[in-house]
Amino acid sequence: MIGRTVGQYEIQEQLGSGGMGVVYRALDTKLGRVVALKFLPPHLSAEKTSKQRFMQEAKAASALDHANICTIHDIAEDEDGQLFIVMSYYDGQTLKYRLGQKRLSTDESVSIGMQIAR
């Protein structure tokens, strides 16, 4: 996928993957901004139930407006019928990565806990 253009998005780098998708950093060529694209895996794109669940995820997330929740810009389908969500890109580390680096101080733990609770 890296180097591929999907609609107005030039895919630059894979950021991560999980059970419900693969996330890439991409350039929105129309607006000149970096975004994240989450693709439903090809083997799930053919399943109606998986597509519905993916659409529901996008709708639920797009209904929320909070500083600690990623903004959803769009949901689309590529030329192969693979669904993807277009969302804001945030540079930095995942919490999982950060927890694996070194022990968190009490202040860091409290700060992260408060952000999650919000």
Does residue 11 lie within any of the structural domains?
yes
More confident residue, 23 or 48: 23
Q: Is 15 exposed, middle or buried (CB count within 10 Å of its CB: 0-12, 13-18, 19+)?
A: middle
- Domain of residue 70: give its range: 5-90
Domain count for the chain: 1
Q: Is residue 22 part of a domain?
A: yes
pTM for the predicted model, two decimal places: 0.81
* Residue 70 is assigned to a structural domain of this protein: yes
From residue 89, how far is each of 23, 39, 104 by CA, in Å? Answer: 10, 14, 25
For the stretch 37-88, pLDDT in tens is: 999 877 777 778 888 888 888 898 888 888 878 899 999 989 888 889 999 9
Residue 21: predicted pLDDT: 84
pLDDT at 81: 82
| Residue 70: φ, ψ to 5° | -60, 135
How much is the mean pLDDT over the chain?
89
* Structural domain contains residue 110: no
Asked if 38 contacts 57 with a C-beta cutoff of 8 angstroms, the reply is no
Asked if residue 12 is part of any domain, the answer here is yes
